Structure 1
Amino acid sequence: MSEPISIREMRDEDCDALAELCGSSLSLFQQYCREAESGTRTILVAEVGGAIAGYVLIQWEAGHPVLHKEHTPEIADLAVRESCRRQGIGTALIDDAERRIAVVADRAGAAVGVSPECGPAQVFFARRGYLPDVRGLNYKGSFVNSGATVRVDRGLVLLLTRRLGRESPSSTTG
């Protein structure tokens, strides 16, 4: 990548571009802006050459019930424009998110889907040192018992957490 990546907090005027990036509704990002103003979320935006290339959402009180109960801030969403992937943007966003989380907590969490389209996210978080919760799969807030039948959709996740230390995340090995 020839142009530098800059990370900043989301602004109201970013809503259209972020909705387009994710194929989501404009109203969802307008809601995120309101929640950011109230302090329940922080949305970090990555820009390259003045254009939005991705974002990450930090939920300070995790939306996932298990992470919420354990007071673990959640990296609830990470998206990078397809044409900008594999250029360090996701890493830059998560580095910044983890630095912010480390100010208030000793670990960060993520509920990562297990469907095939979530494979790249699984690998990304594993390479950063996120480890699976020892309780196994979780479906819509409840752990899945052996022998259970569940639907593979966005509600089926593997909870991952990473201990945050004083050194920067990108300087760790593994």
Structure 2
Amino acid sequence: MPYEWSPKPAEDSSRWQLSLWPYRSLLRKDFVLFIGATAALVSLPLLTLLGQPVLWGLLPFFALMLGGIWFALHVSYKRGEVLEELTVDQTHAALTRHNPKGDVQEWRANRYWVTVHLHPKGGPVENYLTLRGGDREVELGAFLDAEERVTLYNELKGAFR
């Protein structure tokens, strides 16, 4: 799961933190392998054109294709650099969201007034997960899939008891 408790909330624990981040199917170290393998596979048909002038006409399109794949993956990584941290102590609950562009959004509420809500239908996504406390309701884990939000909802309900 793309979230981590530290420490895991127990029945008697009064301070814990939950960190959430988007799932990454292609890690940074595998990015180089993917680009290299793509370049190798696409260049195989070009081997038949070695020594012919048409090769020079196709090389710019080959470079443009590789550059486009690199750029698209780079943009995808940048958009996925989101970190949400929910910190709960004896009296307060604070949610901090670090967005890809560097801005930070914060929400604080009294721990005892915080409630966890799961909206199976009617939200922007299926199983929309929110925290309500103070004068606002904030979204939590928008990047998680529907089953992960249900699992997180059950864990949060137990943690806030």
TM-score between both structures, scaled by the size of structure 2: 0.25
Structure number with the higher strand fraction is 1
Q: Larger Cα Rg: Structure 1 or Structure 2?
A: 2
Question: TM-score of the superposition, structure 1-length normalised?
Answer: 0.24
